[in-house]
Amino acid sequence: MQNIGAARDIGAIGVIGVIGLGNMGRGMALSLQRGGFTVVGTDASAATRDALAGEGIAVRDSIAEVIAACDMVVLSLPTAAIVAEVVAGADGIIGNAKPGMLVIDTSTSHPDTTRRLAAQLAAVGMQFMDAPVSGGPKGAITGTMTMVIGAADEDLARAEPVLAAMSAKRVHVGGVGAGHVAKIANNLFVASHLLVAGEVTRMAAKAGVPVEQLLQGINAGSGRSFVTEHSFPTWVMNGKFDSGFTMKLMRKDVRLSQELIGALDMDLPMSAKVAELWSRSAESIGDDEDFNRIVELGTRAPS
């Protein structure tokens, strides 16, 4: 579908709510503020709320207060279950419904949850769209993320100035839920590529070709990927492992892919193996470690 260009007319939308001010939500809130919006945010963690208040974001203690203050709301939450709780749980968005308000979910979530919540919101006169992101905390804070979007055309048009303040590239892949399908597919690729790159670089090193030389060759050839071109030089080879995306979140995304494959009643053995390896990685690589650490799978003792 279309690749949407960058427009920046904030029009009638003045106040944007952001629910979830973690690694990604914090940067999105600050990018929205820089883009000319007034931002009102909240987070389940008091320490996170206090940190953002110190950065000039109006922070509230409850979802009700955020909804009351804003014209449109952005979610950046860890899991589909938490998105459902924030939207439809006690004291959530539906309980404080504001007819006509658009909810933009940038979390990596399950398309079935997304479609169910969209229907529940529609019943109280509100709209929902999924706009999951890539680009990490750096992309969030610089407003240069990429979004794969599932939305009705009219909702996407309404959200455009808000999305433009947070992202450099937006691809409309279909109706509500389609963004989450595309994001799960994207992360299944990355999760697979990292596992393969970890094995292949060790194989080549043992055969006498160090990783630096190997990747020069690979990246000039047809085996290259984001992982070989970007992840290895930026986070792996220099030992930094500071992408801002955790093992816990990537393990969740790989689980989401298996849930989707299961719901579709498909047998995809390659994806199943990737999921098995990511699941087993919990024995040796902690939840809070950088997700690029998966390249070390098989080289680390169980912790």
Binding segment for ligand NAD among 70-78, 197-205, 214-222, 232-240 (CB under 6 A)?
A: 70-78
CB closest to ligand NAD, residue no? 22
For the purposes of burial, counting CB atoms within 10 Å of the CB of 12, is it exposed (0-12), middle (13-18) or buried (19 or more)? exposed
Tell which positions 30-59 bind ligand NAD, by CB under 6 A: 42-45, 48
* β-strand partners of 18: 41, 74
Q: How far is the CB of 248 from ligand NAD (least distance, A)?
A: 8
- Is residue 77 within the footprint of ligand NAD (CB under 6 A)? yes
Q: How far is the CB of 96 from ligand NAD (least distance, A)?
A: 13
- Measured distance CA(52)–CA(48) in Å, rounded: 6
Tell which positions 262-301 bind ligand NAD, by CB under 6 A: none
Among 127, 134, 228, 271, binds ligand NAD (CB under 6 A): 134
- Is residue 19 within the footprint of ligand NAD (CB under 6 A)? yes
- Is residue 245 within the footprint of ligand NAD (CB under 6 A)? yes
- Is residue 85 within the footprint of ligand NAD (CB under 6 A)? yes
Binding segment for ligand NAD among 2-10, 33-41, 244-252, 259-267 (CB under 6 A)?
A: 244-252
Q: How far is the CB of 244 from ligand NAD (least distance, A)?
A: 5
- Is residue 136 within the footprint of ligand NAD (CB under 6 A)? yes
- Measured distance CA(116)–CA(176) in Å, rounded: 10
- Is residue 198 within the footprint of ligand NAD (CB under 6 A)? no
- Is residue 92 within the footprint of ligand NAD (CB under 6 A)? no
- Is residue 17 within the footprint of ligand NAD (CB under 6 A)? no
Q: State which residue, 180 or 211, has the beta carbon closest to ligand NAD.
A: 180
- Is residue 179 within the footprint of ligand NAD (CB under 6 A)? no
Number of residues that bind ligand NAD (CB under 6 A): 27
Footprint on this chain of ligand NAD (rule: CB under 6 A): 19-25, 42-45, 48, 76-78, 82, 85-86, 107-108, 133-134, 136-137, 244-245, 249
